[in-house]
A and B are shown apart, each in its own frame.
Chain A
Amino acid sequence: MKIHVYAGLKDYFQSEFELRGEIANTDELRAVLVKINGNAGPLLSTCRFAVEEGFIDKSFKLNAHDTVVIIPPSSGG
């Protein structure tokens, strides 16, 4: 599974990286990422997730070939 992160998450992870192993949904993905870097936990808890340019929620079934974009709270304008 390919992961892309933006903005403040780049303080904790590379902007693009790959995760191996089964990750069924965004809750599991968040838990995996917190294991990798616990300091990212508070920010990850506020992030939205997207696959194929659309937001997903925790009911979305992730696949190993998905590219998941992790989207911190917006701060445009």
Chain B
Amino acid sequence: MRMTPSSSYPPAAEVSALSAEPLDVVGLLSRAHHPGAGAVVLFSGEVRNSNRGQAVLGLEYEAYGPLAERLIGEILAEAREKWQLHIAVAQHRIGRVAVGDSAVVVITASAHRSEAYAANRYIIDRIKHEAPIWKCEHYADGTKEWGNNCNCHTVTGDIHKHIYESDPTQRP
């Protein structure tokens, strides 16, 4: 049997960074193969049923679309270059997302796993801190709240400077 390499992954530009439809996690992963990649890492951020002791029914995401798309594209490009990734894709939901559904997916593929893991953490960290995307939590008691905002400025003193989990040198 002749083994043929998987078809190359579509350019990142073909995967929109924002989606109003449920994320096709399996579909995205199924296309995330590259003959030069020995490691593929997928992170799926999913909606939890509780937050700070309150039962959560679901989340609603809002984004400033043009800037969020551009910023996520820049983050992916930086990660691709820094870790020599074969694939770097991120897609974030907007609109209502139910408990258990995926709100954000990041896929990275590289020759070896350490780069794919590191790049994946870097990408999700930067998206969470920097991309103009916000969640509104809808609680079981009927209340809702825009929350879980990045509060790095309370430590860094600068609303444009962040502390990333993936960068131990920046931890306070």
Contact = CB atoms under 8 A, between A and B. Distances in A.
A75 B135 contact: yes
A61 to B, nearest CB: 19
Contacts of B136: 7
Given A73-B150, A73-B153, A75-B150, A6 B160 contact: no
Given A11-B146, A73-B153, A76-B104, A53 B70 contact: yes
A59 interface: no
Please report whether the interface of chain B is mostly helix, strand, loop or mixed according to DSSP: mixed
A74 B66 CA distance: 15
B149 A75 contact: yes
Given A53-B70, A73-B153, A7 B146 contact: yes
Interface of A: 4, 6-8, 11, 46-48, 50, 53-55, 57, 69, 71-77
14 contacts: A8-B134, A46-B149, A46-B151, A55-B160, A69-B67, A73-B153, A73-B159, A74-B134, A76-B127, A76-B128, A76-B133, A77-B104, A77-B124, A77-B127
